[in-house]
Structure 1
């Protein structure tokens, strides 16, 4: 056969393969399988058979040049590995190698051709990580195919006999096969570029959908994962924003909510979590289910639908599960699985944040409880001692002090709320100072400068530790305790100033309070600092103005907090 006719026939074969590749790249099922990172056995078998068919077609349409049948099987075998991975490359090339061994002509080259066919598939599969996801470089793919064809020529020389015929055949076919097949695989592979372009488009669409879905779903998980209206709305949003036919939300033991689109069938048992959900929570990863046992209450349902379950994880433990179902297809679309995993991952972060906020609130509540029950025994002893003394002189005054003491302890021990009106907090401070006034009499002087309205909620028991500190340490050189409580209001905040005429705060105490260090004798003030910073932020931390002529502690309370 003349060289120009040989090249022409080989080009026709390459064109046929390019046409086949173009048709395959348009099939949705082939697109989905190629794009899948984890393929089922069914998907692997289908893709292997498709590429094995391409290799066999290349062998069947080979060009007989007398001593050898010139073919393009390297293109199908290499493409199987490059597009499908090592397993597909091995299976497809091995299946087609059987055909090559028994049906290719002449028989003297059958062993060498079968061996090189398997070699092509393994070579393409070995470079799959380098070329996957359409990131191939055509120069590298061209050189790799040249190398594969050179190996094919060597196999012909080593495994065929007589040697002189094999040598003459190699010299005749080497140049056109190496050059044209290396160009041919570039044409074949480029036909699948649209698969990866569509994947990029689908990824962009999925990212936009996931972003919109997350924006609508995450606020519904801000209070954690539990039964209620939020779970109902969450299922409705997911069902409305996706193509899924049904959505189910579960915790570890039961179904919290489930909804579906226009489907009449419902299992008899609506309390038991489907097996796929239990398996997903047990394994801590996404699970799919195509078939269920006939004994399952979900069997009738699963005749037409497939389920996918992804667990919500908190501290590496599943706290619940999102299960969706869709019409059965040959393969699951990768984008659908990625969208489900994206929603569950972000949902897990939101649940973790809700749990963290809950734990923070519990910690603050426990800290408040500790402060409420931290009644100074000396104060109680002194108050009772004062009332006992007053009883001898003024029983009516003693009765008033007992009522004040009862109100003081009732307020101290009431843990129903963390925020109270400022007027109630000021009233509690007045009760405390009234008891101290009964003890120190004229040696304690208290003045108030208050606005007519104090319409704001502030943390309970936030002022009393500061006032107590002023009474305890605010002693002037005459032995008098002078305390002033002043409340100022502007458009954005209230500022409470508690001042005394004592010797001022020691510098180390101020430094310790501002740095958050524990002070054995300043537990109350340290607690005030932490609570103010936690509720209002750094810009509302207590401010201390201190000198040897007295000190002033200012607390700022933002409106609307």
Structure 2
């Protein structure tokens, strides 16, 4: 299943149910009202008064139009020319608001003309933006971002296997088998989706490799209270777990515990990773925050503003938190079984 959700066609429009799209629309209308208020005002007091009048005129219609676009978004996406329908919806909504606020049932046609023009310009902006972000560009960027993870991960994992070859060859073989499974996932199509269950499985394989190298120094606890079928970008969890090991447990003299939690609340999936840190690390590991920056950029490509990555540092711990919308993976039952398993 593809993870980049884009519209196609010359009149491509975004999903108006997304928070990032709604914020952009409100911000654009807000900037327009500020410009109009500045144009009309001669003093600071006039600017505030003009802005308040314009806001009262536009706010009810804007809220109802956004609600209408959100409800009609699936229907609009199936139209060959969705922009004119969006403009018509906005004009009808503002006309109804005008009639409800006007006892004489007089419609200000010039005002509705400005509504139509503004809506058309905004639809054109979103159309240009969607076309600029056609799938080819994000997929190429995703491939590049995934490629940046591979060498860094490979060298760390091979070092773990090399340290075991002479002393415990059977364990070294297990490490290399896990490494092969992980690289099979690394080499998969970066434009395909993964699931929470798959990402947890890959993280467990990586931690099993590191457990052979670090022994009792590495302790891991899991608290998974989220659906296994939650759609995730591929290789989302393993680089964060690797950061927790490299910059957390590995720098300690005493054993350290990594806690990995996944919860679902109000259709929002939250993944939190806790790892200990030392004031004076026993082993200083050079880090350039590659994994955090990499994942943050991939989330922006895949979820726009609907997903966030945040970190928090305290005296003895480091917390990484991911939040993204819950989307269950949909498997196309018309595909052959072996293709469904790959997707």
- Normalised by the length of structure 1, the TM-score is 0.33
Q: Between Structure 1 and Structure 2, whose CA radius of gyration is higher? A: 1
2:80 aligned with 1:220, yes or no?
yes
Map Cα deviations across residues 261-286 of structure 1 (whole Å, 9 max, x no partner).
xxxxxxxxxxxxxxxxxxxxxxxxxx
Contact 2:150 2:186 (8 Å CA) reproduced: no
SS of residue in 1 equivalent to 2:221: strand
Contact (CA 8 Å) 2:145, 2:298: kept in 1 or not? no
Report the Cα distance in structure 2 between the residues aligned to 1:435 and 1:414, rounded to whole angstroms.
21
Answer whether contact 1:383 1:439 (CA < 8 A) is retained. Answer: no
Query: Which of 335, 360, 363 is 2:137 aligned to?
Result: 363
Q: Distance in 1 between matches of 2:186 and 2:211?
A: 19
Aligned position for 2:291:
524
Residue in structure 2 matching 1:463, options 237, 240, 246: 237
Check 1:430–1:221 CA distance in 2 against 1; reply closer, same or farther (3 A cut): farther
Q: For residue 274 of structure 2, what is the aligned residue in structure 1?
A: 499
Between the aligned partners of 2:218 and 2:78, the Cα distance in structure 1 is 56
Q: Secondary structure at the match of 1:406?
A: helix
Q: Distance in 2 between matches of 1:434 and 1:499?
A: 18
- Indicate how the Cα distance of structure 1 residues 216 and 528 shifts in structure 2: closer, same or farther if over 3 A, else same: closer
User: Counterparts of 1:322-471 in structure 2 under 5 Å?
Assistant: 352-358=128-134, 361-375=135-149, 377=151, 379-415=153-189, 417-451=191-225, 453-471=227-245
Q: 1:387 to 1:217 in 2, by over 3 A?
A: closer
Name which of 218, 235, 260 aligns with 1:485: 260
Per-residue deviation, 1:410: 0.9
Residues 364 and 393 of structure 1, relative CA distance in 2, 3 Å threshold? same
Shift of residue 501, structure 1, vs aligned partner: 0.9
Q: Return 5+ residue gaps in structure 1 as ranges.
A: 1-214, 223-344, 505-519
SS in 2 for 1:450: strand
Deviations 1:19-55 (A, max 9, x none): xxxxxxxxxxxxxxxxxxxxxxxxxxxxxxxxxxxxx
Counting matched residue pairs gives 212
Q: 1:549 aligns with which of 306, 309, 316?
A: 316
Is this contact kept in 2: 1:503–1:547, CA < 8 A? no
- Cα distance 1:346–1:219, how it changes in 2: closer, same or farther (>3 A)? farther
**Shift, 1:539, TM fit:** 5.8
Kindly indicate whether the alpha-carbon contact (under 8 Å) linking 2:226 and 2:263 is maintained by their aligned counterparts in 1: no
SS of 2:270's partner is strand
CA contact (8 A) 1:221 1:350 kept: no
Deviations 1:304-334 (A, max 9, x none): xxxxxxxxxxxxxxxxxxxxxxxxxxxxxxx
Q: For the Cα contact (< 8 Å) 2:248–2:275, is it kept in 1?
A: yes
Residue of structure 2 in register with 1:67 after alignment: none
Distance 1:407 1:486 in 2: 23
Q: Secondary structure at the match of 1:485?
A: strand
> Matched residues in 1 for 2:321 and 2:138: separation?
22
Q: 8 Å contact 1:423–1:454 — kept in the other structure?
A: yes
Matched, 1:472 2:246: yes
CA distance in 2, matches of 1:536, 1:394: 44
- Distance in 2 (CA, whole Å) between partners of 1:556 and 1:350 is 25
Q: Which runs of 5+ in 2 are unaligned?
A: 1-74, 83-120, 280-286, 329-343
Greater relative contact order structure (CA < 8 Å, 6+ sep): 2
Give distance in 2, aligned partners of 1:526 and 1:219: 37
State the SS of the aligned residue for 1:545.
Answer: strand
Indicate whether 1:558 and 2:325 are aligned. Answer: yes
In 1, the alpha carbon distance for the partners of 2:275 and 2:122 equals 52
- Per-residue deviation at 1:401? 1.4
Report if the CA contact (8 A) 1:218-1:350 is conserved.
Answer: no
Deviations 1:139-160, CA, capped at 9 Å, x for gaps:
xxxxxxxxxxxxxxxxxxxxxx
Residues 309 and 320 in structure 2, CA contact (< 8 A), matched pair in contact too: yes
Alpha-carbon distance change, 414 to 539 in structure 1, aligned in 2, over 3 angstroms: closer
TM-score, normalization by structure 2? 0.52
Structure 2 counterpart SS, 1:423? helix
Root mean square deviation, CA, Å: 3.6
